[in-house]
Amino acid sequence: MPKGRPNTANERHAPSADVGKLASEAVLFLKKRTKKLLSVSSNPDSPQNGAAMPDLFLHNSQTRKRELFVPADPTNVRVYVCGPTVYDLPHLGNVRAFTNFDVLVRLLRHLYPGVTYVRNITDVDDKINARAAASGEPIGAITARTGAEFQADMASIGNLPPDVEPCATAHITEMIMLIEKLIAGGHAYAAEGHVLFAVASFAQYGALSGRTPDDLIAGARIEVAPYKRDAGDFVLWKPSPPDLPGWDSPWGRGRPGWHIECSAMSWRYLGDSFDIHGGGSDLLFPHHENERAQSLCAFPGSAFARVWLHNGMLQVNGEKMSKSLGNFFTLRDVLAKAPAEAIRFLLLSARYRSVLDFSDTGLAEARDAINRFYRALQQTPPAPDPPMPEQFLTALCDDLNTPAAIAELHGLANEALAGDTAASGGLKKAGDLLGLLHQAPATWFRGGTDDTVDAAIDAAIAARIAARKARDFARADTIRADLAAQGVLLEDGPSGTTWRRAN
């Protein structure tokens, strides 16, 4: 997680970084990581254990087609999703995207013996700097606080943590290495303390988002600057004044542009070619177009992401969610009026690529559906060790058709309510793959979301332990204070950290 001041001595970067050595270290790290992941994520239903699995089809934004998904290495399916820029609480649209990608990763884990899921945290960005200037809160405090809030929100909505959650500020070395490679290859140039990507050097520029050069200029809200060779060239590195985060570089003290962060972190943890890149449809251009240009030019002959998935937008009562319309909700706003599982169910009720309309009526219907599923599980206890319901899995494998998958849940609930224990078992198993129905029915009907709350507290405690190990005591203290504000007190003892309610 972010440190208070990014430009400390141990994070300075020698202008002549030893690219080869660092790259081989990255590969070694990856191999170790992969081995570790394989040992923890093998699952009893995976194809190697004999269960028949349906083919997975995904809509690839790059080809604009539904395609059969074939991972480069089925023992390690590699997924990168653009994570949050940490300066504010995640809004419902963000949460929807991360929830859909959580279901994708859960499905991949069911289908394949190994998955590596990387979701970054952008903790250096002009929006963060602007927030600090407006609020007076130090940059490091904003990123630490909102980073912890993001992780707590993901836990409360039932999204599993990614395997790697890298922070941009911890990967400046990799960004500088990529920028040096781009300059050496004739794809970037330094000018007045900036380094810019030369769009004209990459013939495929625009192919991912399907834009013409004129669209590109209109869509990028191009900033005209005297140091640019071409109006469409975008920033890889820019100078940073002393009062803003900055790192030493061959081009002077500066900070990275947003796009290079994801190229660097995906390369660091997944290599130069990987299987799936996900993000919201608002990121397709310019962010993903630019990520792709940088990565393909830095690693000629590589594929970067082979499949691109883009999540649709979320509307509220049929209108675009916006602060000016007064219909802007964070997850915490909605958690104040509905249980997390009902919100999760509603977020999954539309297919990830479609627009999702969020409304109080939809939320009430989602709650009724979850009530019905728990009633079925309560009336007819699930048979032990059930197989994954076939039709349900086929629906999810059809480009994550969650509405069809949810229709299968209703069918299973009908049978379970009629006393079929196998259907009840199937309902529980299918719900689990969607991150739903994990509570005891009695807990749900008590109106509590005890298990979810406990999981969120456990996740926060784990994050605090990690922060202390990394000697990031400021962040550890923020997490403790955040929990205390929610009435949860931590007690550190010889056998670890326990918690209790304040009253």
Interface residues toward Zn ion, by CB under 5 A = 82, 262
Closest to Zn ion by CB, 108 or 262: 262
Question: How many residues does this entry show for the chain?
Answer: 503
Question: Which of 149, 291 has the CB closer to Zn ion?
Answer: 291
d(CA 23, CA 388): 41
Which CB sits closer to Zn ion, 82 or 434?
A: 82
- 475 exposure class (CB count in 10 Å sphere: 0-12, 13-18, 19+): buried
CB of 78 to Zn ion, least distance (A): 15
Q: How far is it, in rounded angstroms, from Cα 312 to Cα 354?
A: 5
Shortest Cβ distance from residue 81 to Zn ion (Å)? 8
For the CB of residue 64, give the shortest distance to Zn ion in the complex, in Å. 20
CB of 291 to Zn ion, least distance (A): 6
Interhelix angle 289-298/172-184, nearest 10 degrees:
70
Between 80 and 329, CB nearer to Zn ion: 80
Least separation, in Å, of the C-beta of 474 and Zn ion? Answer: 26
The smaller minimum CB distance to Zn ion, of residues 305 and 417, is found at 305
Instruction: For the CB of residue 258, give the shortest distance to Zn ion in the complex, in Å.
Output: 7
Q: Is the peptide bond before 286 cis (omega within 30 degrees of 0)?
A: yes
For residues 262 and 456, which CB has a smaller minimum distance to Zn ion in the complex? 262
State in angstroms the smallest separation of the CB of 409 from Zn ion.
Answer: 33
Q: How far is the CB of 260 from Zn ion (least distance, A)?
A: 10
State the Cα–Cα distance between residues 493 and 499, nearest whole angstrom: 11
Cβ burial, residue 85 (10 Å; 0-12/13-18/19+):
buried
Alpha helix ranges (H) inside 349-449: 360-379, 390-397, 402-417, 421-433, 441-445
Smaller CB distance to Zn ion: residue 215 or 282? 282
Residues with Cβ within 8 Å of 336's Cβ and at least 6 positions away in sequence, in order, are: none
304 vs 329 by CB, closer to Zn ion: 304
When the beta carbons of 80 and 392 are compared against Zn ion, the nearer one is 80
Kindly state the smallest distance separating residue 82's Cβ from Zn ion, in Å: 3
Distance from C-alpha of 284 to C-alpha of 64, rounded to nearest angstrom:
13
Angle, to 10 degrees, between the axis of helix 421-433 and the axis of helix 92-111? 120
Contact indicator for 93, 290 with CB cutoff of 8 Å = no
Strand stretches in 74-153, DSSP E: 77-81, 115-119
- Assess contact for 323 and 77: CB atoms under 8 A: no
* Sheet hosting strand 188-191, strand order edge to edge: 188-191, 194-197, 234-239, 254-256
